[in-house]
Structure 1
């Protein structure tokens, strides 16, 4: 699959000897190793016999017309944006928990270290072992000291609760509509609206479910169009964003996050 811009915001993306790669593992047990080749993606099936269908191209429909907002102009300039959806709901949920309260760069570092310490080696790339995120069963075997030693002490309780809930309800969750899943995940202690929405968007690719009033969308919308009168608080911004995006709510949200990834880099 070719693209103009690839989102590498998920902490599973790694740069190994100058090459970008990511391990994808599905809840079904299938796994793939994805590699960036210029402006193309290629992948190797590691387990399972189903093809990789986790990527999708996002772009604004049509070309900017006279009078188009600066937001539309900047988002259109991204061209064909590709983001890999997460085929593992467990990984998506754990990733969202890891991102709570802390900066994206720190969350990425902690995710990778947690994988390297406690995850299973699934692939090897340029003599580098690539680990999956620890399974919910594995998370529940870890001691308090295990979490502390890799800087995850403050994520210990929500990750354990999420692992218990996933083992109890995961099969059911995989079969419900994404909009329903956002609500059901919030019954798990430690998982609020942001974590639930971010996890389900990552897993389902329905970016209308992402908490689009959050700081990331507000920040990059203002950066993409500083001349616009963006509301300062989250609820007012979210209502305004729905009006701006209209029927393209998910596309505008994803592309605005992509604009931010391009500005700061993610891998």
Structure 2
């Protein structure tokens, strides 16, 4: 995460770029700058986020969430307001969202980031930007063409079945799924073999910035909620925590989940590189 100012929209003194998606990489040539490449309907494009400016994302959807405009328990919202507004770039390619969520499901974020970057650099599409080269995620047909040895070479043997299943499913039904409302997309993605509720919810949140659909009872939210508001007696059980979190955040469930995860990325050791 890096502190940035927005160059468009309402006057906001500073925003924090949310770099939870493993595609974000520090620029190899520009200080305090992040780069990423994504696939769009018009082809792969680069995204540059410089200190002092809103991400240069072109036609991509960018959302700014300002905790000052959100109600809720001050114990929770107070630290988030101190941290300030957060900006997040939606991942436009549903395939990338699904496959990234599949990789992130059972390993630490730092390890998922390393694997994601290695896969992109080995088999993805390089995109030049004025802040260095970024790599867009490999297309479904590329992943389907990878051999078992290719996955082993990337230390991704465990993920090959889920990635192949996701590639086949999105190739067949991606256009249909992209037209679904976000809350209907989650169960649709759960029909993909090896894609369960966690991966489906995380994928849709990444694709739409609807973090009320993120699996907000998961370890990440529980961990950062406890750090953010230690005076609250948070339930240790996932289902009990999710119920408490939903009740506490109310109509601001999506925004407060996003802000809490962003706060966590910012405070995690090594979580932003």
Instruction: Give the match for residue 22 of structure 1.
Output: 35
Q: How does 1:145-164 map to 2 (within 5 A)?
A: 145-164=149-168
**Residues in 2 aligned to 1:152 and 1:29: alpha-carbon distance in whole angstroms:** 29
Instruction: Give the match for residue 91 of structure 1.
Output: 96
Q: How does 1:50-69 map to 2 (within 5 A)?
A: 51-62=58-69, 69=74
Is 2:51 the counterpart of 1:38? yes
CA drift at 1:163:
0.2
**Residues in 1 aligned to 2:101 and 2:204: alpha-carbon distance in whole angstroms:** 9
CA drift at 1:122:
2.4
Greater alpha carbon shift after TM alignment, 28-37 vs 226-235: 28-37
Contact 2:37 2:135 survives alignment (8 Å): no
Instruction: Mark the runs of 5 or more structure 1 residues left unpaired by the alignment.
Output: 45-50
Is 2:206 the counterpart of 1:206? no
CA drift at 1:94:
1.0
Cα displacement string for residues 20-45 of structure 1 (whole angstroms, at most 9, x for unaligned residues): 3333424413443222222313427x
Is 2:266 the counterpart of 1:266? no
Instruction: Mark the runs of 5 or more structure 2 residues left unpaired by the alignment.
Output: 1-5, 8-13
Q: CA RMSD in A?
A: 1.9
CA drift at 1:19:
4.3
Instruction: Give the match for residue 255 of structure 1.
Output: 259
In the superposition, the TM-score normalised over structure 1's length comes to 0.91
Contact 1:26 1:88 survives alignment (8 Å): yes
Instruction: Give the match for residue 173 of structure 1.
Output: 177
Aligned CA distance change for structure 1 residues 82 and 124 (closer, same or farther; 3 Å): closer
**Count of equivalent residues:** 258
In the superposition, the TM-score normalised over structure 2's length comes to 0.89
Aligned CA distance change for structure 1 residues 219 and 140 (closer, same or farther; 3 Å): same
**Residues in 2 aligned to 1:19 and 1:160: alpha-carbon distance in whole angstroms:** 36
**Residues in 2 aligned to 1:23 and 1:107: alpha-carbon distance in whole angstroms:** 16
Picking from 184, 187, 194, the partner of 1:183 is 187
CA drift at 1:229:
1.2
Greater alpha carbon shift after TM alignment, 21-30 vs 7-16: 21-30
